[in-house]
Amino acid sequence: MTSASQVEALRVPRRRPHKLEKPLAAKRSPGYDMIPIVQADRQSLGKVMEHQTFGPPATARRGQSTCQRHAPIITIDGPAGTGKSTLALRLASYFGWRYIDSGAMYRAVALCAAERGIPWTDEPALVQLCAPLTFEFPFCGGQAAVHVDGRNVTQAIRSQAVGEGASLVATHPRLRAILVDKQRQLGCAGGIVMDGRDIGTVVFPEADVKFYLDATPEARGWRRWLELQERGERTTLAEVIDAIGRRDQEDRTRQASPLRVPKGACSIDTTNLSVDDVFELMVDKIKFFGVSFRTLDPGQGTRCPQST
């Protein structure tokens, strides 16, 4: 058992909130700021928390894997442009967990379909295309890559056109069922941070910690526009904001797994917060819940086997 003195040694005085955190302060649980110290030697913290255990895996739903879980599952949901991928990768790197970009899987299917001349509205053909695909998320040069059937598609899937194709692909229930099953295979053992639009509601509803990020359409459009400019894509800010509005409508109204705030999720409005601000809030919340800091080997990346 952990002694009171050991726990007290890992607590820090209440810090003054950042000026942009004040709107969120009212939503925090009592004692939110009384969290374990954030520092490099997290192994000590892990030892204090190693008495913690994980409950049995979530009840299988629509083919959900029931493999034994040995580490935490963190989910991040929200609409486009809220910083989900950036923060998920940063959290995974910080804690030594694996990062799985579920949205990249839909983008990859859209890309593969376009390359084969399959319309994004042809669900039967898309299902046939998707079923045998294998997905891997290795770390290459400190960055997360996306491989489909062994091919690196990290850059190819990030275009505005492929993103719009992913939005159409994601509306097909049978296709979503296949990808949800693959996502569960990837993350069922735990030690992962997965982001998307239905991760905390459908894929892993009993995750250890769930986040929901949001921001105004204008803020999200600006961020996405800057990303596209850095990649050399010529588009206007108005066009990007308009595309985000269409994507929001499709995500929230589709019949299969619409975008919703997961039950029990920590909601954060990132409109006026920097990446560092949001990251700090998320780390604090994870530590507040006291999940284990035992790490897997993030250098190995994550691989989804071919569906049988």
Answer yes or no: is pLDDT of 266 > 60: yes
Query: What's the confidence (pLDDT) of residue 227?
Result: 86
The separation between CA 281 and the C-alpha centre of its own chain, rounded to angstroms, equals 16
Answer yes or no: is pLDDT of 173 > 70: yes
Least confident of 48-57, 222-231, 286-295, 296-305: 48-57
Q: At what angle do helices 123-130 and 102-115 cross, to 10 degrees?
A: 110
Least confident of 42-51, 131-140, 163-172: 42-51
pLDDT category, 233, cuts 50, 70, 90? confident
Q: Rounded mean pLDDT of 151-167?
A: 92
% of the chain at pLDDT higher than 70:
70
Q: Which residue has the higher pLDDT, 262 or 299?
A: 262
Answer yes or no: is pLDDT of 272 > 50: yes
Which CATH number applies to 69-291: 3.30.420.10, 3.30.465.10, 3.40.50.300, 3.40.50.720?
A: 3.40.50.300
% of the chain at pLDDT higher than 90:
55
pLDDT category, 69, cuts 50, 70, 90? low
SS (H, E, C) the chain: CCCHHHHHHCECCCCCCCCCCHHHHCCCCCCCCCCECCCCCHHHHHHHHCCCCCCCCCCCCCCCCCCCCCCCEEEEECCCCCCHHHHHHHHHHHHCCEEEEHHHHHHHHHHHHHHCCCCCCCHHHHHHHHCCCCEECCEECCEECCEECCEECCCHHHCHHHHHHHHHHCCCHHHHHHHHHHHHHHHCCCCEEEEECCHHHHHCCCCCEEEEEECCHHHHHHHHHHHHHHCCCCCCHHHHHHHHHHHHHHHHHCCCCCCCCCCCCEEEECCCCCHHHHHHHHHHHHHHHCCCCCCCCHHHCCEECCCC
Residue 50: CB atoms within 10 Å: 12
Evaluate if pTM is beyond 0.75: no
Q: Rounded mean pLDDT of 35-49?
A: 32
- pLDDT, one tens digit per residue, over 3-15 is 444 434 333 333 3
pLDDT category, 291, cuts 50, 70, 90? low
Q: Rounded mean pLDDT of 143-151?
A: 91
pLDDT category, 256, cuts 50, 70, 90? confident
